[in-house]
Structure 1
Amino acid sequence: MSDCAGKLHVQVCYARPDDILLEDVWVAPGTTLEQAVHASTLLARAPEIDFISCKVGIYGKPKPRDTVLQQRDRIEIYRPLVADPMEARRRRVAKKEKAR
């Protein structure tokens, strides 16, 4: 662990529909969210990630890519939504009304 002295321990996470990729990364203080993602191997391990357009966050809260990281932050790379949540809710309500 001597090579990690003075560094921040963060995790980079990407959830596939059937799998979760999680990687521990040691970065220098002042490292941004985007820099930490590039320092990890997740983009190589999950080539389906379109990192230019995807959203990212820390512990479930969307954050800008230039956010400076803190010790033990968990960076999350979000997949695009398959369905609009409001439209899905409308369909569920309509289905329940038909069942009545």
Structure 2
Amino acid sequence: MVEIEVVHAAVDRQVLLTVKVPAGTGLRAAVQASGIGLQFPGLDLAGCPLGIFGKVVADADARAVQPGDRIEIYRPLLADPKEVRRLRAAKAALARKQGA
């Protein structure tokens, strides 16, 4: 058995669970086995991005857990950061143009 942590931070609360899963278990299977989905019913565990210690894992189904892993469940982005920055820059340029 391998001991890992599964963590998710919603807007209003955070949950960290310590669980033991069989060696060789995939990340997504370990998250589902943790039972964290019961505490966050709206969370799509089958499709949400997962990471380990702040680094997104590309294929969460294929990567096996390692002892001490902290599997993080990420929320979907509400807005694309690049798009938000582009809009902010355009707004600032317009303000400079009008002020000149």
TM-score normalised over the length of structure 2: 0.83
Q: CA deviation at 1:25?
A: 0.7
User: Which residue in 2 is equivalent to 1:71?
Assistant: 67
Runs of 4+ displaced beyond 4 Å: none
User: Which residue in 2 is equivalent to 1:4?
Assistant: none
Cα deviation, 1:50-78, whole Å, max 9, x if unaligned, reads 12221112112222122111111011111
Name the % identity.
Answer: 44
| Contiguous gaps of at least 5 residues in structure 1 | 1-6
How many correspondences in the alignment?
A: 94
User: Matched residue of 1:10: which SS?
Assistant: strand
Q: Quick one: which of 1, 11, 30 aligns to 2:24?
A: 30
Amino acid at match of 1:95: K
Highest CA radius of gyration, 1 or 2? 2
Cα deviation, 1:20-44, whole Å, max 9, x if unaligned, reads 1111111122121122112112111
CA RMSD of aligned residues (A): 1.4
User: Which residue in 2 is equivalent to 1:51?
Assistant: 45
TM-score normalised over the length of structure 1: 0.83
User: Matched residue of 1:71: which SS?
Assistant: coil
